[in-house]
Amino acid sequence: MSKAIFFNIPASGHIYPSLAMTRELVRRGERILYVATERFRGVIEATGAEFRAYASLEDGYIDRPGLNGTDPQLAAELMIGTCRELLPELLALVEAEGPDYLLHDSMCPWGALTARILGLPTVVSLALWKFTPAMLGPGPGADDPEARRRGTAHAIRYHQLSRQIAAEYGIRPLAYPELFNAPGDLTISYSSPEIQPEGHRLDGSIHFVGSSLEARGDEPDFPLERLDGKQVIYASLGTVVNRNPGFFRNCIEAFADGPRTLVLGLGTRVSLAALGPLPGNVLASNAVPQTELLRRSRLFITHCGMNSVHEAMHLGVPMLLAPQQAEQTLTGTRVAELGAGLLLQDTAPGTLRAAAETVLGNPDYARRAALLGEGLRRAGGPARAADLVLAMAAARARAGATTQGEP
């Protein structure tokens, strides 16, 4: 039995995909100490892992201005600043616990830096894309001189802070691309090579294990029985960039009193009151059991978060793609390229209505989603992820024992 510490960022789209692998590792005898914020204590402890809260990182961290993915260069500057604040705490924890290896999300730079400083083997949990140079490209506002100036200033500040951290701890700086693509000895992707853009260009350290729909244990109550026998359209903007009551009102206007039932997953930033009276064929809630809704849905109107897109594909549900920021635009574009959804140019009621009729009237969209879902299911899931992690840990342990035995 080995011991590991898992560092993650406090965001559903990064933590939830990792839970099934964590549960499987614990089931096989690994001791996992999972570090996140209090909001995620319940779902993490449900895996059998030991939960530990960051001492200086709060639940609302990802809600800080600039960290929602709409401005990657600003996010990079803010996150490297967070690394500087967290590293003393994390290094003390790792030195006290003495893990055999670390796990961390691909966009958890303090996990990558902790491993680099202490020379520990690492497993990267890849909940988003593996971003190639072509995918990173110029950021939003590249054609706006003022936006470029701000972006350059953020990038310069990022590199300054990264070099300061490197000098303080005697390590190589964390390069800008590594913030979004943290390197490790092993990378576990919850996608498939068919879905990953430019998958043929990636090296053998990345292993695609597909998605998992295991229950997390925090699913909210919802009147699912009201959907029996209905043709369901489900719409959601995820958990981060979702303060958009106009989007939900457009959905209501597009499908009000029509032949299908519309379910709206509002998130925590839009109140039911902001929508006004709901037509009889519309259900709305701030918290919904997304997987169970997708099982009952014929169409998913989505913000193009990776977790949401994978769940839809896993269940063969075609999509209308309404990205809210740059990374989601990459995802939406890729899903459209793969034929599993239609990328929206806007979300006006008429556009939504026409796009829904196009996708629902063409079975090829659902067929493509189902085929991609088959690829996700046959990739091996949590069992294969655990196999890979344990093999890496065993190989590193053998290498360490051999080194210690040398004269």
The whole-number pLDDT of residue 181 equals: 86
Q: Is residue 310 over pLDDT 60?
A: yes
How confident is the model over 128-152, as pLDDT tens digits? 888 766 665 555 555 678 878 888 8
- φ, ψ at 37 (rounded to 5°): -115, 165
Among 42-46, 215-219, 222-226, 249-253, which stretch is predicted with the lowest mean pLDDT? 215-219
Q: Name residue, tokens 């709060």.
A: 58
Task: Work out the end-to-end distance of the chain between its first and last CA atoms, rounded to an integer number of angstroms.
Answer: 27
Give how many domains the chain has, as a whole number.
Answer: 2
Cβ neighbours of residue 372 under 8 Å, at least 6 residues apart? 192, 194, 195, 313, 338, 340
Provide, rounded to the nearest whole percent, the portion of the chain with pLDDT above 90: 75
Span 109-116, average pLDDT: 96
Find out whether 256 and 281 touch, Cβ atoms under 8 Å.
yes
Strands 261-265 and 282-285 turn out to be: parallel
Instruction: Residue 127: give its domain's CATH number.
Output: 3.40.50.2000
The whole-number pLDDT of residue 225 equals: 96
The whole-number pLDDT of residue 269 equals: 84
Average pLDDT over the chain, rounded to whole?
92
- Asked, for residue 217, whether it belongs to a domain, the answer is no
Instruction: Mark whether 24 and 150 lie in a shared domain.
Output: yes
Instruction: Mark whether 198 and 333 lie in a shared domain.
Output: no
- Asked, for residue 216, whether it belongs to a domain, the answer is no
3-state secondary structure the chain: CCEEEEECCCCHHHHHHHHHHHHHHHHCCCEEEEEECHHHHHHHHCCCCEEEECCCCCHHHHHCCCCCCCCHHHHHHHHHHHHHHHHHHHHHHHHHHCCCEEEEECCCHHHHHHHHHHCCCEEEEECCCCCCHHHHCCCCCCCCHHHHHHHHHHHHHHHHHHHHHHHHHCCCCCCHHHHHCCCCCEEEECCCCCCCCCHHHCCCCEEECCCCCCCCCCCCCCCHHHHCCCCEEEEECCCCCCCCHHHHHHHHHHHCCCCCEEEEECCCCCCHHHHCCCCCCEEEECCCCHHHHHHCEEEEEECCCHHHHHHHHHCCCCEEECCCCHHHHHHHHHHHHCCCEEECCCCCHHHHHHHHHHHHCCHHHHHHHHHHHHHHHCCCHHHHHHHHHHHHHHHHHHHHHHHHHCC
CA distance 379 to 384: 8
For residue 11, give Cα distances in angstroms to 152, 184, 307. 27, 21, 11
- Asked, for residue 218, whether it belongs to a domain, the answer is no
- Report angle CA 370, 131, 312 to the nearest 5 degrees: 20
How confident is the model over 16-44, as pLDDT tens digits? 999 999 999 999 999 999 999 999 999 99
Instruction: Mark whether 231 and 306 lie in a shared domain.
Output: yes
Among 167-171, 238-242, 244-248, 359-363, which stretch is predicted with the lowest mean pLDDT? 238-242
How confident is the model over 235-290, as pLDDT tens digits? 999 877 778 999 999 999 999 999 999 999 998 889 999 999 999 999 999 999 99
Specify burial of residue 242 (Cβ count, 10 A radius: 0-12, 13-18, 19+): buried
Instruction: Mark whether 169 and 286 lie in a shared domain.
Output: no
The whole-number pLDDT of residue 137 equals: 57
Structure tokens at 141: 């506002």
Instruction: Mark whether 189 and 235 lie in a shared domain.
Output: no
The whole-number pLDDT of residue 242 equals: 77
Tell me the longest C-alpha to C-alpha distance in the chain: 80
Q: Is residue 317 over pLDDT 60?
A: yes
- Asked, for residue 219, whether it belongs to a domain, the answer is no
Q: Is residue 338 over pLDDT 80?
A: yes
Q: Is residue 327 over pLDDT 90?
A: no
Find out whether 72 and 139 touch, Cβ atoms under 8 Å.
yes
Q: Is residue 96 over pLDDT 70?
A: yes
Residue 397 pLDDT grade (very low, low, confident, very high; cuts 50, 70, 90): confident
- For residues 259 and 406, the model is more confident at 259
Instruction: Mark whether 268 and 399 lie in a shared domain.
Output: no
CA distance 92 to 37: 18
- Report angle CA 390, 11, 220 to the nearest 5 degrees: 100
Instruction: Mark whether 30 and 139 lie in a shared domain.
Output: yes
- Asked, for residue 256, whether it belongs to a domain, the answer is yes
The whole-number pLDDT of residue 403 equals: 55
Q: Say how far residue 324 (Cα) sits from the centre of its chain.
A: 14
Instruction: Mark whether 183 and 297 lie in a shared domain.
Output: no
- Determine the structural domain holding residue 46 and report its residue range: 3-210+380-405
- Asked, for residue 215, whether it belongs to a domain, the answer is no
Instruction: Mark whether 386 and 371 lie in a shared domain.
Output: no
CA distance 208 to 205: 10
For the whole model, what pTM was predicted? 0.91
Q: Is residue 358 over pLDDT 90?
A: yes
- For residues 237 and 401, the model is more confident at 237
How confident is the model over 48-76, as pLDDT tens digits? 999 999 999 999 898 888 787 778 889 89
CA distance 22 to 34: 9
Instruction: Mark whether 144 and 229 lie in a shared domain.
Output: no
- Asked, for residue 192, whether it belongs to a domain, the answer is yes
Span 165-187, average pLDDT: 93
CA distance 321 to 340: 10
The whole-number pLDDT of residue 99 equals: 97
CA distance 236 to 232: 13
- Asked, for residue 115, whether it belongs to a domain, the answer is yes
The whole-number pLDDT of residue 136 equals: 59
Instruction: Mark whether 44 and 170 lie in a shared domain.
Output: yes
Instruction: Mark whether 68 and 93 lie in a shared domain.
Output: yes
